[in-house]
Amino acid sequence: MSAPVRLQDVAPDRARFRDDVWHGLSLPRKTLPCKYFYDARGSALFEAICELPEYYPTRTELSIMERHAGDMAARLGARCLLVEYGSGSSRKTRLLLDRLEAPAGYVPIDISRTALAASARALTDAYPALEVLPVCADYTEPFDLPHPQRTPLRRAVYFPGSTIGNFTPPEVASFLARMARVAGRRGALLVGVDLKKERAVLEAAYDDAAGVTAAFNRNLLVRINRELGGEFDLARFAHRARWDEQAGRVEMHLVADRAHSVRVAGRAFSFARGETIHTENSYKFDLAQFAALAAGAGLAVREVWTDDARRFSVQLLSVEA
């Protein structure tokens, strides 16, 4: 039987979710924050996406981790506290944990309560000597970091999955600076950064033939209907994913197929035919561009591990001074 895992829970509540949805749907260009994709079903759909033939990022990042996790662990050093942003299933983390020397603890942070609780339980079973301190939070908001029983020699912030690409470049710089503050003096960041590539590969990754990403995108409306008494008709909204070369990002949208109006928690929002809700950005970077963003956040790129085709990178950044 699994040992109970205590979860520090400061995730956004229903009122916050409603206010964010009302705000996003009131904008001239409707948008919803991508963090709300991740309820229990959204997390399960994301795991299904990771197995799709078109979705190269997970496969590629895993291959980089399998090849270089030993080197990464050596660079992070003994007795480090590993803090992970958007930990999800923590699948990639296990490759690191297998190689880290006597880690002081592991702090997985995720907004998706069920996914976080399940992965924290599984990790506690798999690594009985490891102190696992899960935090259910929106990492874009301030929250307290739990203290492990063993004093760490260093903090390392792990942010895999190319989730950093959900932020615009100016936001990337400020989010890196925020993670650098969490890592503290002599701290390190290990970040999964997806790289620019051909349009066809990028668009297929976010619009797979089996329609799993479409279901993931529409699940946001399913969630609004369930949690906020929304009245979205799912059949009225099509999934769309497009690479915007100039902006350097894949945009995901939900496109209304006709003019109609939708009530959410007592407020009505009207849609024109073809009007979209912008649900996610996935920025892709080149190495020089990411290094410049890191430098702007007071971080230096110490190592870049990539796959042979240079599709994806895992980057070690150190906090300067």
Ligand X SMILES: C[S@@+](CC[C@H](N)C(=O)[O-])C[C@H]1O[C@@H](n2cnc3c(N)ncnc32)[C@H](O)[C@@H]1O
Helix axes 40-50, 113-126, angle to 10 degrees: 60
Tell me the Cα Rg of the chain: 20
Interface ranges with ligand X (CB under 6 A): 35, 38, 43, 46, 58, 86-88, 92, 109-112, 115, 138-140, 160-161, 163
Residue closer to ligand X by CB (options 109, 254) is 109
C-beta atoms surrounding 120 within 10 Å? 24
Closest approach, Cβ 285 to ligand X, in A, equals 16
**Angle at the Cα of 150 from the Cα atoms of 145 and 153, rounded to 5 degrees:** 80
Cα 282 off chain centre by: 10
Closest approach, Cβ 240 to ligand X, in A, equals 19
Residue closer to ligand X by CB (options 87, 124) is 87
Q: What is the full DSSP assignment across 252-301?
A: EEEEESS-EEEEETTEEEEE-TT-EEEEEEEE-B-HHHHHHHHHHTTEEE
Q: What is the total residue count of the chain?
A: 321
Closest approach, Cβ 296 to ligand X, in A, equals 21
Closest approach, Cβ 74 to ligand X, in A, equals 21
Closest approach, Cβ 52 to ligand X, in A, equals 13
Residue closer to ligand X by CB (options 138, 227) is 138
